[in-house]
């Protein structure tokens, strides 16, 4: 197992998950809810930045590895799933939204694994629609974690849930896209046999 700074950042993201979750279970006497919200949003934002940074540095420093390629998406999905489950438990978003997003992540991860086994992982590489979905999802989660008004007159919970619905729509759209790409690749392979 290789170890370098980009992989350290990915492991840091994994290590932040229990800290992030436990934070919301602290008693008010230790840290008031507004403080937990702010700190939780900060930890999630740090995790999102390390997600971008580890990939950028691995490519720039030519430190990519099969282990890093495996661990990075696992770390991403774990912290997003933890945040979504926490937001549902805190009654800040709807369970069906979390189920759509988490279900899609499991489905696409399995699809990518299967396509890699048949030598066609490139056909389900990250597409622009997937990046849009991730952006909407990350901003929505940040707003719902923070919960307090950021700008007077803007309802942070309402905006966060609006973006969560947009993220769920983009989630289903991107899943359909990836399934279609995989299906086309498999049909083309079947015809060549």
Q: Where are the domains of the chain?
A: 1-91, 94-187
For residue range 16-44, list pLDDT tens digits in order. Answer: 999 999 999 999 999 999 999 999 999 99
User: Quick check: 95 and 47 in contact, CB under 8 A?
Assistant: no
Look at residue 193 in the predicted model and tell me its pLDDT: 61
pTM for this predicted structure:
0.89
Look at residue 36 in the predicted model and tell me its pLDDT: 96
User: Quick check: 98 and 165 in contact, CB under 8 A?
Assistant: no
Query: Which of the residues in the chain have pLDDT under 70?
Result: 1, 120-125, 192-193
For residue range 12-23, list pLDDT tens digits in order. Answer: 999 999 999 999
Alpha-carbon distances of 36 from 27, 40, 53, 142, rounded to whole Å: 10, 6, 25, 13
- d(Cα 145, Cα 141) in Å, to the nearest integer? 6
Look at residue 122 in the predicted model and tell me its pLDDT: 67
Look at residue 123 in the predicted model and tell me its pLDDT: 62
- d(Cα 58, Cα 4) in Å, to the nearest integer? 9
């Amino acid at each position: 197992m290789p170890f370098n700074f980009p992989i350290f950042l990915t492991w840091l993201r994994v290590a932040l998950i229990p800290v992030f979750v436990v934070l919301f279970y602290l008693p008010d006497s230790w840290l008031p809810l507004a403080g937990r919200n702010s700190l939780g949003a900060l930890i999630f934002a740090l995790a999102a930045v390390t997600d971008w940074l580890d990939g950028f540095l691995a490519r720039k420093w030519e430190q990519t590895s099969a282990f890093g390629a495996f661990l990075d998406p696992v770390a991403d999905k774990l912290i997003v799933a933890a945040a979504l489950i926490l937001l549902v438990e805190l009654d800040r978003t709807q369970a069906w939204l979390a189920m759509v997003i988490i279900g899609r992540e499991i489905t696409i991860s399995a699809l990518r694994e299967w396509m890699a086994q048949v030598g066609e992982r490139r056909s389900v590489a990250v597409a622009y629609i997937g990046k849009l979905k991730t952006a909407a999802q990350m901003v929505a989660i940040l707003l719902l974690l923070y919960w307090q008004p950021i700008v007077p007159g803007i309802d942070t919970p309402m905006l966060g849930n609006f973006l969560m619905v947009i993220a769920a729509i983009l989630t289903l759209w991107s899943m359909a896209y990836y399934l279609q790409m995989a299906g086309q690749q498999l049909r083309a392979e079947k015809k060549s046999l």
